[in-house]
Amino acid sequence: MKIDEKRKLPIGFMDSGLGGLSVLKEAVRIMPNEDFIYYGDSFHAPYGTKHPDVIRELTFTVVEKLLDQGIKGLAVACNTATSAAVAKLRVMYPDLPIVGIEPAIKPAVKMSRGGTILVMATPMTIKQEKFQRLLGLYQKEAKIIPIPCKGLMEFVEHGDLNGKFLDEYFDEHLKPYLSDDTETIVLGCTHYPFLRPRLRTYLGERQIALIDGSLGTSRELKRRLGEKGLLQEEERKGSITIENSLDRKEMIDLSWKLLELPIE
Ligand code: DGL
């Protein structure tokens, strides 16, 4: 395919469900003239409690679906799928610009003032070698505590972003790690930024930064596409297509709602 034609193709996004929409939101903001196809694999969600081999196969299947539709680049907008599959995907598709997302530990350490950094992520993200390596790299510079958050992404999948049940979840899973020393919470799963407003309220007066990797990942995607001369050159308003393996209208409606929701 000629580069002029390729440039006009959409950018593919994938996640185990609706979480990756928090990354897509940033990508659309910084690349408004691009077209995007988002595929949420809600039928198979959660990925974060499955075996890495299963996560890898599920990820490959979704990526094939996106490639069949024609994409010029791919964002694996899922920390869990990134840790299990991105290295292999790069080998399988060496010509395709591929970015993955990983928990934003590096930026958290860079802005650290000596306090504790908590990392909320799926159990599988934390178990993976990729995460352990990242942790090993920065643990000398800061106190970092990973918190496996089984069952948290499900609230977002069901559109339950606000309610006492979330406070109860935070009481059980997060509170034991909170201290006067906590300075940052890394939202290390792409579903969690949608819970940021409730988490912020839960934390109350505490001065704790809540950070995620969505902007960094989107910038990296833009950089990689630019490097290959694949960014749209026209001034235009791009389009967004949303697909989901749970073939139900409510999932698509909820996806649009999440995409439009202010989550800062
Ligand atoms: N959104 C995903 C992530 O960033 C995972 C959620 C799941 O499927 O467990 O890790």
Å from CA of 17 to ligand 1 middle: 7
Residue spans per domain, the chain? 3-101+214-260, 105-211
Q: Are the folds of 3-101+214-260 and 105-211 the same?
A: yes
Residues with Cβ within 8 Å of 167's Cβ and at least 6 positions away in sequence, in order, are 198, 202
User: Does the pLDDT of residue 256 top 80, yes or no?
Assistant: yes
Give the span between the Cα atoms of 69 and 12, in whole angstroms.
9
Pocket of ligand 1 (CB under 6 A): 15-17, 19, 45-48, 78-80, 122, 125, 153, 189-191
What are the tens digits of pLDDT across the range 100-114?
Answer: 999 999 999 999 999
Q: Which atom of ligand 1 is nearest to the CA of 153?
A: 6
Catalytic residue from among 189, 211, 240, 254 = 189
- To the nearest whole number, what is the mean pLDDT of the chain? 97
Residues with Cβ within 8 Å of 119's Cβ and at least 6 positions away in sequence, in order, are 103, 105, 108, 126, 144, 145, 146, 147, 185, 186, 188
Confidence of residue 127 (pLDDT cuts 50, 70, 90): very high
What mean pLDDT is predicted for residues 57-81? 98
Give the span between the Cα atoms of 162 and 193, in whole angstroms.
13
Instruction: Using DSSP, state whether 30 is helix, strand or coil.
Output: helix
The length of the chain is: 264
> Which residue in 39, 9, 41, 7 sits closest to 24, CA to CA?
39
Q: Quote the pLDDT of residue 263.
A: 79
User: Does the pLDDT of residue 264 top 90, yes or no?
Assistant: no
What mean pLDDT is predicted for residues 224-232? 98
Give the span between the Cα atoms of 49 and 55, in whole angstroms.
9
Å from CA of 82 to ligand 1 middle: 10
Torsion sign over Cα 234, 238, 244, 248: negative
Question: Token pair for residue 206?
Answer: 């505490």
What are the tens digits of pLDDT across the range 25-60?
Answer: 999 999 999 999 999 999 999 999 999 999 999 999
Å from CA of 239 to ligand 1 middle: 25
Q: Quote the pLDDT of residue 213.
A: 97
Q: Which atom of ligand 1 is nearest to the CA of 191?
A: 1
The residue whose CB lies within 8 Å of the most ligand 1 atoms, and thus the one to mutate among 153, 154, 245, is 153
User: Does the pLDDT of residue 151 top 80, yes or no?
Assistant: yes
Residue nearest to atom 9 of ligand 1 (CA): 48
Q: Quote the pLDDT of residue 262.
A: 84
Residue nearest to atom 2 of ligand 1 (CA): 78
Å from CA of 18 to ligand 1 middle: 9
Residue 74 parent element (H or E): strand 73-76
Q: Quote the pLDDT of residue 193.
A: 98
Q: Among this protein's residues, is 149 annotated catalytic? A: no
Å from CA of 32 to ligand 1 middle: 25
Is this structure's pTM higher than 0.95? yes
What mean pLDDT is predicted for residues 157-172? 97
Fold of 3-101+214-260: Rossmann fold (3.40.50)
Confidence of residue 78 (pLDDT cuts 50, 70, 90): very high
Catalytic residue from among 27, 76, 78, 84 = 78
CATH architecture of 105-211: 3-Layer(aba) Sandwich (3.40)
